[in-house]
Amino acid sequence: MKEAIEKIQQALHGSPTKLVAVTKTKPVEVLAEAYQAGLRIFGENKVQEMTEKYEALPKDIQWHMIGHLQTNKVKYIAPFVAMIQSVDSLKLLQEIDKQAKKCQRIVPCLLQIHIATEETKFGFSEEEATELFASVVLQNLQNVCIKGLMGMASNTTDENQIRQEFKELATLFAHYKNTYQAPNLQWQELSMGMSGDYAIAIAEGSTLIRVGSAIFGGR
């Protein structure tokens, strides 16, 4: 694990991009080992799993939700989650706002944008996201802060296609950053890149790479 982490950290060297270690399905002992190796941002995709690991591990870990989140489960992670990267509907954003308010928190969020060709991936289309940023509903959500965008490239070996999809997301991010300003919109994070494509993502401007199997092996 140490060598794998070092390899990724070398790829990140000199860039402001941060590593989110995707720890889903891995037992607490493995996370503790990653913590010992210096990692502090962990990504999970299931509420119960994240909550159990949060309770078992040191409190300076930043927990990022990266999987599809059901509205009825937001309340369990609202007290501690560091970022919800997988906001894929206005309804979910409204629920996060409601639960964050109960905890007197402002929860950092990323809007998940659908950039892949596969039908199954969750996320806003560019048009849906633009509609959201242009609308007034965001103004009323004072307990969330949208920090940027998250996207997953197509599951393909075609590097040109992956690069093209990341370029598209980076262009959209730059456009929003230039166009929409509000207290609860802070354009700081562009989350793209996984085990197979993080090098391309870094080159295309990613600020958060989400890497699982390249560190922990297959699932």
Ligand X SMILES: *Cc1c(COP(=O)(O)O)cnc(C)c1O
- Does 83 interact with ligand X (rule: CB under 6 A)? no
Which of 11, 31, 67, 141 contacts ligand X by CB under 6 A? 67
Q: Please tell me the number of Cα atoms within 13 Å of 216 on its side-chain side.
A: 26
- At position 125, the amino acid (one-letter code) is S
Contact 209, 198 (CB under 8 A): yes
CB within 8 A of 36, min separation 6: which ones? none
Strand partners, 176: none
- At position 98, the amino acid (one-letter code) is K
How many Cβ atoms sit within 10 Å of the Cβ of residue 135? 10
Min dist CB 211 to ligand X, Å, is 5
| Binders of ligand X in range 33-52 (CB under 6 A) | 45
- Report the C-alpha gap between 42 and 35 in whole angstroms: 9
Min dist CB 103 to ligand X, Å, is 24
Min dist CB 216 to ligand X, Å, is 8
- H or E stretch covering 209: strand 208-211
- Does 152 interact with ligand X (rule: CB under 6 A)? yes
Which of 40, 164, 195, 205 contacts ligand X by CB under 6 A? 195
- Does 211 interact with ligand X (rule: CB under 6 A)? yes
Contact 192, 153 (CB under 8 A): yes
- Does 108 interact with ligand X (rule: CB under 6 A)? no
- Does 208 interact with ligand X (rule: CB under 6 A)? no
- Does 23 interact with ligand X (rule: CB under 6 A)? no
- Does 22 interact with ligand X (rule: CB under 6 A)? yes
- Does 210 interact with ligand X (rule: CB under 6 A)? yes
Residues that bind ligand X (CB under 6 A): 22, 24, 45, 66-67, 152, 194-196, 210-214
